A and B are shown apart, each in its own frame.
Chain A
């Protein structure tokens, strides 16, 4: 009489299945890694080149895409000058190092990483509240207002939890503002959602911007 064997108890079957699933996942993850690297490269369609800080950046609702997208506009001076590609890259690098050194992500969120103890910084440059801050500080430009705020954040009533003074120098503040401006120009597929809602909209439905 023939013995009855079940495939489900065959070690050989499970071993082959595990090898297939693991091999497929490895190949897929390698492909996805290269796909991501292509998209997050500076100077690509999604992440603009450092010289984007020399341009006006707007955030407009795109009907086609169903969310807001950054719109890079006309040239505008940044801290009173036009930055060369080399200078802009160096400034952004310094901004990134400062952001890491001061541990912004302990409280804020940047491109989906960090905390929600303080406002999301992904599109911070585009926050309409900087206009009020500009008037409060008496700064001529948005970047000047942001830089002054970053040096003495404890002096301004921006949020129910006031930001502490992190002893950010004038140079570091300038680099941080550049870093934030560049970040706001990144096409994040509409993240954070509903950023440009008004405060009354926020009270009704919620947004990470305020």
Chain B
């Protein structure tokens, strides 16, 4: 199972995310990359407007 049942003594969001293989890594990378996509298109639009 990708996400396993959380069994640690302390209920923790980060601990829960770290239960499966690479789940914490994938989550953190997604969070970091998503705003960068938005930044990319924002910058692209700005550059295109500058050219006009």
Q: Give A contacts to B, CB under 8 Å.
A: 2-3, 5, 7, 10, 12-13, 16-17, 20-21, 24, 28, 32, 35, 38-39, 44-46, 64-66, 187, 189
Contacts and interface: CB of A to CB of B under 8 A. Distances in A.
Contacts of A17: 36, 39
9 contacts: A5-B48, A5-B50, A7-B40, A12-B43, A16-B43, A24-B31, A46-B9, A187-B9, A189-B8
Contacts of B40: 7, 13
Contact of B51 (A5, A12, A13, A187): A5
Given A10-B43, A20-B39, A65-B7, 11 more contacts: A5-B47, A7-B44, A7-B47, A13-B39, A13-B43, A20-B32, A20-B35, A44-B10, A46-B9, A65-B8, A66-B7
Contacts of B35: 20
Contacts of B10: 38-39, 44-46
Interface in B1-50: 7-10, 12, 14, 28, 31-32, 35-36, 39-40, 43-44, 46-48, 50
B34 to A, nearest CB: 10
Contact of A20 (B12, B28, B36, B46): B36
A12 B14 CA distance: 32
Main secondary structure of the interface of B (DSSP, over half): helix
A2 B43 contact: no
B9 A7 contact: no
A64 B43 contact: no
B31 A16 contact: no
Nearest to B8: A189
A12 B39 CA distance: 10
Contacts of B50: 5
A64 B31 CA distance: 31
Contacts of A3: 51
B2 to A, nearest CB: 16
Contacts of A35: 12, 14
A44 B28 CA distance: 28
The list of the 6 closest CB pairs from A to B, nearest first, reads: A5-B47, A2-B51, A13-B43, A65-B7, A45-B9, A7-B43
Nearest to A24: B32
Nearest to B10: A39
A64 B12 CA distance: 17
Contacts of B52: 2
B7 to A, nearest CB: 4
Q: Which of B28, B35, B47 has the most CB of A within 10 A?
A: B47
